[in-house]
Amino acid sequence: MNKIYLSSPHLTGEEQKYVTEAFDTNWVAPLGPNVNGLEEDICKYTGSKSCSALSSGTAAIHLSLIMLGVEEGDEVLVSTFTFSATVNPIRYQKAIPILIDSEKDTWNMSPILLEEAIIDRKAKGQKPKAIILVHLYGMPSKMEELMAVAKKYDIPVLEDAAEAIGATYKNRAMGTFGELGVFSFNGNKIITTSGGGALISNKPDYIKKAIFLATQARDEAAHYQHSQIGYNYRMSNILAGIGRGQMEVLDNRVKARRKVFEFYKKKLKAFDNITFVKEPKGFYANRWLTTILTDSFKIREKIRLALEKENIESRPLWKPMHLQPIFQEFPAYIDGTSVDLFNRGLCLPSGSNLSNADLERVVEGIKKVF
């Protein structure tokens, strides 16, 4: 039986057109028409004023923190329920992650715990420098509440929308609420450039600065002149060609992933011990991965192992960062929500390229457990 993956690349063939063009015109470098074209496509799609295509989502988060002035010893508020790539760049800057737990409706950062943390950090003598919000599994965070807290305490917001391109909150694209927004085009994301990312902002000065930093921070001069530390974080024109082809089908990919979610929901309706996260009113998730919550760790593991036997990949939800050996020493504002989700939750195969027969196989695999 062929292996069913969690989320594999789904190309159309149209990508090849842009890649061939890059070869034919010898634009084989980390700049060129595809890089510019992809940035325009992303601006048009999200409604953001400016964009820079970068080598990864992680690089985009790192540059964002630099531009927000995050330095050694500064504190950055961040969701604990996320992938490590959200938090690692805080440590690249030798800054301190302050980990915040989730709320139960969207599984994203709790606005209540965020405010509690800010008040407590200030009382302890330091005002946090930035907030990183994550829209996990493509579900928008509670933006109104979170942005109100950020505004009240005047702390800039960076949106890690690595998993959330195509998702909207009250018809506005994720990534456009904060000062800066990040997308990832890794091979497992909803659209891909094999590896890559993008940074968006409604303040073009940020993007100008990001491109400057991402291309080794060269001052204006005929020779190579540097007055700041630079990085090699720009996207290749070849990979941007893949991205342009993928942007053409992004809406289709979102629809397909949402259909996968609906399929599982319908087929597993009879099982009281499997539940799905609902979209609150005004939230439009891209359903990058369909996630289920089971009754217990035991049942979750039973399902996961049963699927593994059938050559089907599934995966526990992200292990919260405050439980990770590398981050457990840092301050955390926790009410148990993300740990509970981690114990009971499972990601199911969700690729837009899965056939109905594949999806049926997953459902049959789950049903066998009960």
Q: What b/e sequence results for 159-170 when a residue is b if at least 16 CB atoms lie within 10 Å of its CB, and e otherwise?
A: bbbbbbbbbbbe
| Cβ proximity to ligand PLP, 197 vs 320, nearer residue | 197
Query: Cβ of 279: how many Cβ atoms within 10 Å?
Result: 17
In sequence order, which ranges of 6-87 are alpha helices (DSSP H)? 15-24, 33-46, 57-67
| Cβ proximity to ligand PLP, 83 vs 107, nearer residue | 83
| Cβ proximity to ligand PLP, 85 vs 339, nearer residue | 85
Q: Could you give the angle at which helices 250-267 and 356-367 cross, rounded to 10 degrees? A: 30
Q: Give the shortest CB-165-to-ligand PLP separation in angstroms.
A: 11
Q: Give the shortest CB-202-to-ligand PLP separation in angstroms.
A: 21
Do residues 303 and 315 touch, judged by C-beta distance below 8 A? Answer: no
Q: Which of 56, 31, 6, 45 is nearest to 249 (CA)?
A: 45
| Cβ proximity to ligand PLP, 114 vs 347, nearer residue | 347
Q: Give the shortest CB-85-to-ligand PLP separation in angstroms.
A: 4
Q: Give the shortest CB-334-to-ligand PLP separation in angstroms.
A: 19
Binding site residues, ligand PLP, CB under 6 A = 56-58, 82-83, 85-86, 134, 160, 162-163, 184, 186, 197
Q: Give the shortest CB-146-to-ligand PLP separation in angstroms.
A: 16
Q: Give the shortest CB-143-to-ligand PLP separation in angstroms.
A: 16
| Cβ proximity to ligand PLP, 117 vs 199, nearer residue | 199
| Phi, then psi, of 180 in degrees rounded to 5 | -140, 150
| Cβ proximity to ligand PLP, 68 vs 268, nearer residue | 68
The residue with its CB nearest to ligand PLP is: 57
Q: With DSSP H G I counted as helix, E B as strand and the rest as coil, what are the percentages for the chain, rounded to 5?
A: 40, 15, 45
